Amino acid sequence: MPENDIDSLQFSSDVAICTLFDGDFHFGLAAFANSLVRSGYKGTVWAGYRGSLPPWLHQLPRLNANAHEYLVGDQVRLVFLPVESATHLAVHKPQFMLNLLENQARDCKYIWFFDADIFFRCSWSFFEDWQRCGIALCQDILYQVLPENDPLRHKWVEIGTDLGLGKPRPLIQYFNSGLAGVPAEYISFLRLWQRLTEYAGTMGVDLKRLTSGTRDMPFHAHDQDAMNIAAMYTEHPLSPTGPEVMGFRPGRSNLYHSVGPKPWRGSPLLRALAGVQPSAAAKFFLTQVSSPIRPYSALHLQAKKLECATASFIGRFYAKR
């Protein structure tokens, strides 16, 4: 794109999207950004990172010589922000969103967080409609139903009582923290989520890890459990969806969340020979890494697609039961 055209670009400030990544998750970020371009999103994506920047950045026009801001397609601005926190990046989600709302994205009306292994399958208009409904959350698949009187919720209520949070709302859904959409006026939800994360640390939880202990612990999946407790105690309206939105089960798969083996890691052929066939998310990932960002060479991508197709064929006849 000519430099004078880049200078004339305008990016909406009403909505902000953010994500966090490190290491080889730059492959997921590439597919995430490419799929977002295809969805029709027009605006900024804030990518918090630890370690090195992606090796494919030279492919993108740079928008700011004094900052790591790049153009993906012709309507998405991708901005990289270093993360100094020593906690696991997943645990850093509420703090990262708070920092953006209080600084770089303080004019936005709604902020979305998506894990960097999420890929868009639908039009961005779905999310524009969703964000009018309150705090957007998506039901998990492993622990999708957690009854109101489950012993784990009783432990969470004890924590809420210790913190003086008042009376919890009745909930039976358990939410996946890979997606969270929050109106800027409901910033107190993010502050509560962060407060609960910090409280987990005071209980001896190692916040440098993603999980610890067993599911019977109140903070087993640290960021996710803290978010679910916050959902119980926030005064703001929730807009939950079922797990099919993340592609966790058949239905309206608006997204694919690659929660199993990451599609950029290992060999799908070897996994197929061990009885694990490629997931729908892994197959979709390979359709999202050819443009505008190309994390693989054309030959490498062709080889990966062939290997995935072969693994899928094997999976038709041999799979773990």
Tell me the C-alpha to C-alpha distance, in Å, between residue 29 and each of 32, 61, 240, 319.
Answer: 5, 17, 25, 30
Q: What is the pLDDT of residues 182-191, one digit of tens each?
A: 999 999 999 9
Residue 306 reports pLDDT greater than 70: yes
Q: What is the pLDDT of residues 148-180, one digit of tens each?
A: 999 999 999 999 999 999 999 999 999 999 999
Is residue 95 domain-shared with residue 142, that is, in the same domain? yes
Confidence class for position 260, pLDDT limits 50, 70, 90: confident
Is residue 108 domain-shared with residue 236, that is, in the same domain? yes
Residue range(s) defining the domain that contains residue 232: 3-246
- The CA dihedral of 262, 100, 84, 65, to the nearest 10 degrees, is 90
Is residue 223 domain-shared with residue 300, that is, in the same domain? no
Residue 147 reports pLDDT greater than 90: yes
Note the pLDDT of residue 54. Answer: 98
Span 131-149, average pLDDT? 93
Q: Would you say residue 251 lies in a domain? A: no
Q: Would you say residue 94 lies in a domain? A: yes
Span 80-88, average pLDDT? 94
Is residue 138 domain-shared with residue 231, that is, in the same domain? yes
Q: What is the pLDDT of residues 233-244, one digit of tens each?
A: 999 999 999 999
Is residue 180 domain-shared with residue 296, that is, in the same domain? no
Span 20-36, average pLDDT? 98
Note the pLDDT of residue 78. Answer: 98
Q: In what order do the strands lie in the sheet with 15-22?
A: 62-64, 69-72, 76-82, 43-50, 15-22, 110-114, 175-183, 135-139, 238-241
Confidence class for position 104, pLDDT limits 50, 70, 90: very high
Q: Would you say residue 265 lies in a domain? A: yes
Is residue 216 domain-shared with residue 281, that is, in the same domain? no
Residue 1 reports pLDDT greater than 60: no
Residue 115 reports pLDDT greater than 80: yes
Identify the CA nearest to 39 among candidates 110, 149, 122, 133: 122
Q: Does 252 or 226 have the greater pLDDT score? A: 226
Note the pLDDT of residue 143. Answer: 85
Contact 253, 245 (CB under 8 A): yes
Q: Would you say residue 119 lies in a domain? A: yes
Span 92-104, average pLDDT? 97
Helix axes 222-233, 151-162, angle to 10 degrees: 70
Q: Would you say residue 256 lies in a domain? A: no
Q: Would you say residue 252 lies in a domain? A: no
Is residue 238 domain-shared with residue 270, that is, in the same domain? no
Is residue 23 domain-shared with residue 108, that is, in the same domain? yes
The model's pTM: 0.94
Is residue 282 domain-shared with residue 178, that is, in the same domain? no
What Rg value do the Cα atoms of the chain yield, rounded?
20
Q: What is the pLDDT of residues 261-285, one digit of tens each?
A: 899 999 998 998 888 888 999 999 9
Span 189-214, average pLDDT? 95
Considering its fold, how many domains does the chain have in total? 2
Is residue 44 domain-shared with residue 70, that is, in the same domain? yes
Is residue 301 domain-shared with residue 156, that is, in the same domain? no
Q: Which of 246, 271, 299 is the last residue of a domain?
A: 246
Is residue 137 domain-shared with residue 182, that is, in the same domain? yes
Which DSSP category does 54 fall into? P
Note the pLDDT of residue 91. Answer: 96
